Structure 1
Amino acid sequence: MTNKISVCDLVMVDLLGKLTWKITQKRGNISLMIYIFAWLIILVPQYAFSQGVIVNLLQPENPVAGTSLVIRAPVRSLQDITGAVLFYRDPSTIEYRETEMALDGNTLSLVGTIPASSVVQPYVEVYIQVSLRNGSTQTYPLADPANNPFRIIVTGGSNQDSVLILSPSPGQRISPEELMISVSLVYAPPIVDRSKTEIFLDNEDVTTKSVVSGDIVIYSPQEVPTFLKRGVHEARVVLFDNKGKAVSEKSWGFFVVSPEEQMASSTTLTYHGIGKIELRNESISGVSTWYNRGDINLEGSYGILTASSLVHLSSEEKSYRQPQDRFGVTIGIPWIKLNLGDSYPFFNSLVMNGQRVRGISGRISAGFLTIDAAYGQTIRGINGT
């Protein structure tokens, strides 16, 4: 039995074929539109997010190992920023340390300082986290900042920076009995041969009476002539490479005084202070906003006792936000330090690492034993509305 296809059947097949093709074509257009729409959903927010509040991070000029490093990050506006934290680490550590950044209205930027102890060769890695008024946070760099930080190349500095003075300090007043000349070569470049280091006292070569131990060079106290005259004296250290060529030199002066004069100078009260006021107005879309800030810093010493205080007041301090004002008093002697108010203690990063604490903190250093402690509040409780 044969199947017969009539003209009508062919017409129907043709119509069905065209209809099927049109439906398929329409579905293809719908699929294409859905595909494009999906990519827009993915890309547009990413593009919008890429326009972060931080414009960029300025590369510091000539970062030198062993000196504090100021980090500046220009921002689009300070109006939406409630706080910022600078995270940093050197090549010897995996974990980041953190420190608060100040909001500088004069330069419209965030400013933070990395302590000298963390500025080492060959680089320091940093990233920034910003807290916004709407409760969200942004980072710079934007994508996975902890694993993709901003890297700052650190140099060993000039020749003068290759020698770190340990004692006596430049300009120090010291008795002959307490005089010990010592330096550290920890920041000296690799080409320096430590064993060839020469040390001079008032242009007299005392190298043979000194001791070199690793990166430390010491002119031992028992070798210092007790008949040094009162007045100004000079110490000088010269570094050489392995071929005997001088590559670096550093000299500094100090005062030799009698024990009575040293005691009198050590019990002299010294103090100084600095104050700053900032008045700034921002006008955005016809809305005018004033930002007022003030800072007072006082420091003083009397004998072995040192004290300092900090007061920072801001018009942005509100009861429904985290604290913007800062205040603190630090009192210390060589082996004990006590902080009252706002402080930034450093512990293991799993506990606390440079986070602000409002309360009390301190340190006791007794030779091989060091005890750090802190008690207070890191985040203020805020009632919801």
Structure 2
Amino acid sequence: MRIHRLFLSLLFVFGSVNLSQGQIKIVHLQPAIGRVNRPIPIEVRLENDGTMTDQVRVYYKSIKNASYKYIELQPAGQGYRGEIPPQPLSAEKVQYFIMVIPRIGGPVTYPEVNPFYEPLEIQIIPKETIHEEMPKKRPPVQKGEKKSSEKGVQPRRNAILPELDQSDYVILTPDPGSSIRAEDAFISVSILADSGIVDPSKTVVLLDGRKLQFKASEYLVTAVPPEITPGRHLIAVVFHDPKGRQFRPIRWRFTVEGPGKRGALSLRQSVRGNVFLSTRQERVSGRSLADNRIGGNLSLRKEAFQLGTRFNITSQEDRNFQARNRFLFWMRMPWVKFQFGDTSPAFTELILSGKRVRGVNAQVDLGIFHLNVAAGQTNRGIEGNAYIKILDPLTGDSLYINPVTGDTLTSKFIGENQVARYGTYAQNLWGLHLAVGKPAGFLWGLSLLKVKDNVHSIRRGIRPKDNLVLGTDLSLAVDRGRFRWQSEAAFSVLSEDISNGAISKTEIDSTFDTDLPFDPKKLEKWIILNASTIPIDPRRMTSLAAFSRVQLNYWGNFVHVEYKSIGSAYNSLGNSYLRRNLRGLFLSDRIRLFRNRVYLTLGYEDYFDNFRQLNKNPKIHIRSLRSGLNYYPGRRFPSLNLSVKRYGRNNQISTLDLTPGSVFDNREDNTTNEITFNASYKFKALNLEHRLNYNLIQMTKTDAFAASRPLSYFPIGITNRIHYFTFETNYHRPLKSIIRFATNRNSYQGGLSRYNFNTIEIRLEAAPQILSLFGYGGVRLYRANGLTRNLSGNALAKINFQKYQFELGGRIEPWKNHFFSLDSNWILFQDRGERYNLQTGGVLKNKSYQNYLFMFRYDYRF
């Protein structure tokens, strides 16, 4: 039976239990909330990463979407860091999971069990500060600034402009009165008003009186200024209602740091970028590991033309593994976007999404005609290993000795064709998406995707594949986007083994006693058809995937209704993480109350998993009830967020098969209850600014048949609770202190096993206004204890360890635009845990160890 994802997230919140040393464990603290239209930081630490990690990825999607996208985390300190892109308020929740791809062995995921189907969740909430106080009077006129209205905004003489309520928008960046670097200049305003009040498409964005190009969606207006000089600058954002009537401009000032001619906006040609060099030295469980990198990005902008590149080159690049180096060249103009290198093309949710393609991606926008073309390689060929050539992963010796039996592999398998590890075929992808219409109105599209393994790319491979997917999508937006309808359908053909090519019409007719109206050999250019092709009978529509969704935004309600059916035989190699054999309904409503100070979210899911009942397994009825309450009273009071979820799985089987000699229990009726609570409060005390944050995550999973299960059945009952406190203080000097404390109490396997965990962290950060200096230091203490038992109640392992982690690092800018940073960690792991051999009565004690990490990085920004 499946272990629920939250058990795993609680079990490894700050550390992992090392019951089998040498296996990579993912350590991750799940963010309780994410702010609307702001990136969500993700941090991952790895335990026992003695093989050097190839990639660390985060796959993410909105709860309303069917497919995942992914980002690659970058090394940072002792772990890896990255950001899930900003999400709109309509996303409600972001679902994600983490995948680590090591150099040796298969991928490791977090959660460990069913990560694609039962991922972690982050609730998306509005920005904490709902009201941004704006000056009652116009800011004082600066030198060179016109006294009249901003250029491009000419109200009628003596006109009294209506003013938006301060709860109808949120200034995201830059903060009013803030000081930023020129490369960080980015204007972003979130729209909280109903679409019947504000029409984002009619917005005017001005910087120092000059109009800027901007992007607008239903909930967000953004603009990237051209080259901007140091000094104070004035932003004005002018909203209009659907009839074109202007609101009073929203104005605020900010300062760009740095020397030079001040207080003016430059529209000259802009060149920006950065280059970095880094080295990472690490000692893990007695092994020394190194990773050296060079990377950066460069962008050139002149008026509407943009050109750039992004690259990351690592010393860990190895032809025996998938590519670790990354590079991308791109070009943009108002009507075309072109990328070459490691691209991430996206057509539609069902066909192509979340796939890295090394090749080209071109998008052409000609008004009502839209074309998206992608072609390249998704996997490069990696040759398999014969036993005679296998190497010891630790010593590199060709004579590999099995540590358990003492046998040498080459003494038993000496044939050239005896395969120890099958390789990976080079896989090529090409496809296109053609659409007619406008995204803000009616849009109809057609998609074609072809993915095929190159059978000649390696010698020792198994089951090369060929995939063809056809699809169509339709969307309609009316009433200024307050009503949106989107539908998509796709049909796939997958041949799971094309090593012997296509079967002929003669072979099919003689084998299946039928008269096929066409010859499969003539279709080899498009798809290789043979006995491994699915679906075998397209008329059953098992390879059809479709969904239809409606979104309504009226009277403070954002309603989402969706029905989807993903066939059991549907396969798109352009979207490897789409949940198949699933059919059902999703409903949700996010209600804004009390001038957007209160948000109430209600959701209901009703699905059938395995609805085609493959392999005669029963279909599983999945029901989920969700509710959320978010309260934002303002700066003087704490903000509160509460989320409650009830999730049940039932396969409608209530009887136990008592056949003599084999008792088989396939009954499934379990219920999971989850509660997530977050409170955050900013306040002043002792003339200092403080922030207190508290998170509670609680989950219980119960089995309706627990009392009647056979003795050999592993119980699934789980009870978990975690408390997590953070207290931050900003001192008058550029000093900040952070204290974190967490407790974790777990009971799993129906109470047979337990795991308790405590951690405390103290961290200091200093940022004196000298040479952009930043420094930090901290200490973490982990303590864990627990016991794992078998079904008879006998102890299998005792958990008892302490882990001390010390970190020290910082950053300095000794010369303009030149940055040097250093991160160091030292870890002392004292393990008093034991593992028990019930057959021999032996006891194996876990080993203690000391690890260190040293990371140096140089950046040049221009």
**TM-score band (shorter)?**
0.5 to 0.7
Distance 1:65 1:217, change over 3 A: closer
Secondary structure in structure 2 of the residue aligned to 1:154: strand
Taking the aligned partners of 2:195 and 2:150, their CA distance within structure 1 comes to 29
Per the TM alignment, residue 287 of structure 1 is displaced from its structure 2 partner at its CA by 3.1
Q: Residue 110 in 1 paired to residue 83 in 2?
A: no
Structure 1 residues 318-373: Cα deviation after superposition (integer angstroms, max 9, x where no partner)? 11111111111111102211011111112234433132111111211233432211
Structure 1 residue aligned with 2:320:
320
Structure 1 residues 1-25: Cα deviation after superposition (integer angstroms, max 9, x where no partner)? xxxxxxxxxxxxxxxxxxxxxxxxx
* Structure 1 letter corresponding to 2:38: T
Distance 1:79 1:58, change over 3 A: farther
Q: Residue 297 in 1 paired to residue 268 in 2?
A: no
Q: Residue 146 in 1 paired to residue 119 in 2?
A: no
Per the TM alignment, residue 289 of structure 1 is displaced from its structure 2 partner at its CA by 2.3
Taking the aligned partners of 1:160 and 1:366, their CA distance within structure 2 comes to 40
* Structure 1 letter corresponding to 2:360: I
Structure 2 residue aligned with 1:64:
35
Structure 1 residue aligned with 2:367:
367
Taking the aligned partners of 1:101 and 1:232, their CA distance within structure 2 comes to 36
Q: Residue 156 in 1 paired to residue 120 in 2?
A: no
* Structure 2 letter corresponding to 1:88: Y
Per the TM alignment, residue 140 of structure 1 is displaced from its structure 2 partner at its CA by 0.8
Structure showing greater Rg: 1
Matches within 5 A, 1:45-60: 48=20, 52-59=24-31
* Structure 2 letter corresponding to 1:109: G
Distance 1:82 1:234, change over 3 A: closer
Structure 1 residue aligned with 2:705:
none
Q: Residue 126 in 1 paired to residue 96 in 2?
A: yes
* Structure 2 letter corresponding to 1:54: I
* Structure 1 letter corresponding to 2:60: Y
Per the TM alignment, residue 92 of structure 1 is displaced from its structure 2 partner at its CA by 2.4
Structure 1 residues 199-219: Cα deviation after superposition (integer angstroms, max 9, x where no partner)? 999xxxxxxxxxxxx96999x
Higher percent of residues as strand? 2
Distance 1:47 1:298, change over 3 A: same
Taking the aligned partners of 1:282 and 1:381, their CA distance within structure 2 comes to 30
Secondary structure in structure 2 of the residue aligned to 1:75: strand
Taking the aligned partners of 1:200 and 1:348, their CA distance within structure 2 comes to 29
Matches within 5 A, 1:1-385: 48=20, 52-59=24-31, 63-80=34-51, 81-93=53-65, 95-104=66-75, 106-117=76-87, 120-157=90-127, 158-159=129-130, 176=151, 188=191, 234-235=236-237, 250-252=250-252, 268-385=268-385
Structure 1 residues 270-294: Cα deviation after superposition (integer angstroms, max 9, x where no partner)? 1111122221112235432221112
* Structure 1 letter corresponding to 2:70: T
Per the TM alignment, residue 382 of structure 1 is displaced from its structure 2 partner at its CA by 1.4
Taking the aligned partners of 1:284 and 1:234, their CA distance within structure 2 comes to 53
* Partners of 2:49 and 2:284 within 8 A in 1: no
TM-score by length of 2: 0.29
Structure 1 residues 156-200: Cα deviation after superposition (integer angstroms, max 9, x where no partner)? 113269xxxxxxxxxxxx9946989xx9969655xx566677999
* Structure 2 letter corresponding to 1:67: R
Structure 1 residues 99-123: Cα deviation after superposition (integer angstroms, max 9, x where no partner)? 232241x323233332225675532
Taking the aligned partners of 2:106 and 2:220, their CA distance within structure 1 comes to 52
Structure 2 residue aligned with 1:261:
none
* Structure 1 letter corresponding to 2:310: L
* Structure 2 letter corresponding to 1:59: P
* Structure 1 letter corresponding to 2:41: V
Distance 1:348 1:232, change over 3 A: closer
* Partners of 1:238 and 1:250 within 8 A in 2: no
* Partners of 1:121 and 1:155 within 8 A in 2: no
Structure 1 residue aligned with 2:615:
none
Name the Cα RMSD after superposition: 4.4
Taking the aligned partners of 1:319 and 1:56, their CA distance within structure 2 comes to 30
* Partners of 2:101 and 2:108 within 8 A in 1: yes
Per the TM alignment, residue 312 of structure 1 is displaced from its structure 2 partner at its CA by 0.7
Distance 1:342 1:121, change over 3 A: closer
Distance 1:86 1:96, change over 3 A: farther
Taking the aligned partners of 1:96 and 1:375, their CA distance within structure 2 comes to 20
Taking the aligned partners of 1:252 and 1:285, their CA distance within structure 2 comes to 54
Per the TM alignment, residue 315 of structure 1 is displaced from its structure 2 partner at its CA by 0.6
Distance 1:298 1:217, change over 3 A: closer
Taking the aligned partners of 1:232 and 1:118, their CA distance within structure 2 comes to 26
* Partners of 2:191 and 2:220 within 8 A in 1: no
Structure 1 residues 55-86: Cα deviation after superposition (integer angstroms, max 9, x where no partner)? 123427x6221223232222225543212332
Aligned residue-pair number: 280
Mean Cα deviation higher: 279-288 or 356-365: 279-288
Taking the aligned partners of 2:203 and 2:367, their CA distance within structure 1 comes to 30
Structure 1 residues 132-176: Cα deviation after superposition (integer angstroms, max 9, x where no partner)? 222411211112122321111211113269xxxxxxxxxxxx994
Taking the aligned partners of 1:128 and 1:233, their CA distance within structure 2 comes to 39
Instruction: Return the structure number with greater relative CO, CA threshold 8 A, min gap 6.
Output: 1
Distance 1:216 1:53, change over 3 A: closer
Taking the aligned partners of 1:78 and 1:279, their CA distance within structure 2 comes to 17
Secondary structure in structure 1 of the residue aligned to 2:297: strand
* Partners of 2:58 and 2:73 within 8 A in 1: no
Taking the aligned partners of 1:129 and 1:57, their CA distance within structure 2 comes to 15
Q: Which runs of 5+ in 1 are unaligned?
A: 1-45, 162-173, 202-213, 219-230, 240-248, 255-263
Distance 1:197 1:367, change over 3 A: closer
* Structure 2 letter corresponding to 1:146: F
Taking the aligned partners of 1:67 and 1:270, their CA distance within structure 2 comes to 26
* Partners of 2:89 and 2:126 within 8 A in 1: no
* Partners of 1:87 and 1:96 within 8 A in 2: no
Distance 1:115 1:103, change over 3 A: closer
Mean Cα deviation higher: 340-349 or 313-322: 340-349
* Structure 1 letter corresponding to 2:359: G
Taking the aligned partners of 1:372 and 1:127, their CA distance within structure 2 comes to 28
* Structure 1 letter corresponding to 2:59: F
* Structure 2 letter corresponding to 1:100: I
Distance 1:122 1:353, change over 3 A: same
Q: Which runs of 5+ in 2 are unaligned?
A: 1-17, 133-148, 156-163, 170-188, 205-216, 222-232, 242-248, 255-264, 386-862
Secondary structure in structure 1 of the residue aligned to 2:379: coil
Distance 1:72 1:179, change over 3 A: farther
Taking the aligned partners of 1:49 and 1:77, their CA distance within structure 2 comes to 7
Per the TM alignment, residue 238 of structure 1 is displaced from its structure 2 partner at its CA by 11
Distance 1:305 1:137, change over 3 A: same
Secondary structure in structure 2 of the residue aligned to 1:134: coil
* Partners of 1:237 and 1:251 within 8 A in 2: no
* Structure 2 letter corresponding to 1:64: R
Structure 2 residue aligned with 1:204:
none
